[in-house]
Amino acid sequence: MAPTRVFGWVAVSLSLVYKFPQIWKLYRTGDIQGISVESQLVQSLAYFFYITHGFVIEDPPIVFLGFTSLLQSVVLVSQYFYYYSKKGEDIGRGDNSETMEERKNEHVNIDIPQLELIEEGIEEDWTTTKSGTLCCT
């Protein structure tokens, strides 16, 4: 291997792992909030040109980087549309699974001593639960 290609292969190696945390988090949680499909599509187009450029200049690290990065972007976009289509269904994993509807209907509980922090005029929006905490209705 030519010494000048060592840097290319190091860059490829590092580039192979930088999207894995996002892919894993999306798989584990199904939470698509914060994913920009537009950004992934622009990156995919850029990777296509990296691949083409790598073939033209005969640089295997660039070609490999382009293909693997393009594949990761395709995985992220596919996950996005998969979970987007399941919006409102149970998309959690394991013991912490909950539906989007359950997340939307969560109540905010406040201890009684914190009542002093509630501004005048909104007390009617709060109810007391059996445990003695206030719950926003």
| Cβ 46 vs Cβ 72: under 8 Å | no
pTM of the model as a whole: 0.58
Give the SS3 label for residue 14: helix
Question: How much is the pLDDT for 92?
Answer: 46
Backbone dihedral angles phi then psi of residue 132, each to the nearest 5 degrees: 90, 10
Would you tell me how many other CB atoms lie within 10 Å of the CB of residue 12? 19
Per-residue pLDDT reduced to its tens digit, 4-38: 778 878 888 888 888 888 999 999 999 998 889 99
| Cβ 29 vs Cβ 92: under 8 Å | yes
Print burial letters for 108-122: b (CB count within 10 Å at least 16), e (below 16). Answer: eeeeeeeeeeeeeee
Domain boundaries, the chain: 3-95, 107-136
Fold for 3-95, please state it. Answer: Monooxygenase (1.20.1280)
Per-residue pLDDT reduced to its tens digit, 44-81: 999 999 999 999 999 888 899 899 999 999 999 999 99
